[in-house]
Amino acid sequence: MTARYGRSGRIKPQGDRVETAIWYLMRVTGLALFVLVLTHYLILHVLHEPAQQDASWIATFRWSSTFWRAYDWSMLMLVLFHAFMGMRIVVGDIVGGALRTGLLRILYALGIFLLIIGTYVVLTLPNVVPAG
């Protein structure tokens, strides 16, 4: 158990600043997502029934609140980073060489695409004022 493995016996990046930053960010985003995602699931899948959450329900109730739009957008950014950096590790563990480079490019392109469409909808979906 030398420095590379640390006292925990778990690999922590050494020397490479980008890898070290990602290692910490995975933990920071993970901790934030622990709260954000579990609360999201609790509210929308346990306290409310998903079957009732059609497009007009989202526009009228969920996203008529700036708080929930901001909540969902924060969660979107954090979860895309966490999920795509996690998949980067999975891809790196399974394939190597040119295939890894190619798959990672597709992965990053997909992540950026999802960030764009997710941000677009959270910013532009019109508020519908509930009737009555």
Partner 1 sequence: MLVRYRGGEGMLAWAFHRISGVAIWLFLVLHVIDIFLVGYAPGAYDTLLVIYATPAGIVMEWLLGAAVLYHALNGLRIIIIDGWPRLTRYHRQLWYLNWIAFALVGIPVTWVIFGQFARAMGWWPR
Where does this chain bind partner 1 (CB under 8 A)? 6-10, 12, 27, 30-31, 33-34, 37-38, 41, 45-46, 49-51, 53-56, 58-59, 76, 79-80, 83-84, 86-87, 90, 110, 114, 117-118, 120-121, 124-125
For residue 29, the minimal CB distance to partner 1 (Å) is 10
Supply the minimum distance, in Å, between the C-beta of residue 129 and partner 1. 17
In this complex, which beta carbon is closest to partner 1, that of residue 104 or of residue 114?
114
The distance of closest approach from Cβ of residue 132 to partner 1 in the complex, given in angstroms and rounded to an integer, is 21
Q: Which two tokens stand for residue 99?
A: 């295939």
State which residue, 28 or 99, has the beta carbon closest to partner 1: 28
